[in-house]
Amino acid sequence: MDTLSHFAHDGRLAQVDVGAKDITARPALAQGRVSASASVITALKDNKVAKGDAFTAARLAGIMAAKRTAETIPLCHQIDLDRVDIEISIEDASTITLTARAQAHGRTGVEMEALCAVSAACLTIYDMCKSMDKSMTIGPIMLLEKSGGKSGPYKRT
């Protein structure tokens, strides 16, 4: 078990010690999709969702989720984020794409913060529109890219 980073030498779960790592810029980009009926996509596009401005609510939910990632995901470090942004685009008559960018200067990456942000943003779209279409689907949610740290850059191809 010594090769697994979240296990101590005796097999217990343990948070990774990042104290000796260099502080570097740590950006990450994650993406998620919400598929819904054409009427939901139209209501979102025209800002006619009965509960209010779904895109603003989703952006806020994503930012808040990123800031609280360490409270949600066991063993994540508390990270002082420099920035979190959520972009929302309507891809076609049935799909919305949400992209979360998280950035920090620290000793560990912000992949989980970006993934939590985009997950919460997608869930908020679902919550805001569920009265119109309970058959909406969320996913896939994925890491698109990250850089910084000893593992180096990653970019989904």
Within-domain flag for 108? yes
- pLDDT tens column, 11-37: 677 777 776 777 889 999 999 999 999
133: annotated active-site residue:
no
Within-domain flag for 78? yes
Within-domain flag for 154? no
Q: Residue written as tokens 């030498």?
A: 9
CA–CA separation, 57 and 53 (whole Å)? 6
Q: Which domain holds residue 107?
A: 24-145
Whether the model clears a pTM of 0.85, i.e. scores above it, the answer is yes
Within-domain flag for 96? yes
- CA 58 vs CA 64, 92, 140: distances in Å: 10, 19, 17
CB atoms within 10 A of CB 5: 10
CA–CA separation, 80 and 103 (whole Å)? 9
Please identify which of the residues 82, 85, 127, 133 carries the catalytic annotation.
127
- pLDDT tens column, 96-152: 999 999 999 998 889 999 999 999 999 999 999 999 999 999 999 999 999 988 888
Within-domain flag for 55? yes
Within-domain flag for 6? no
Within-domain flag for 102? yes
What is the tally of structural domains in the chain?
Answer: 1
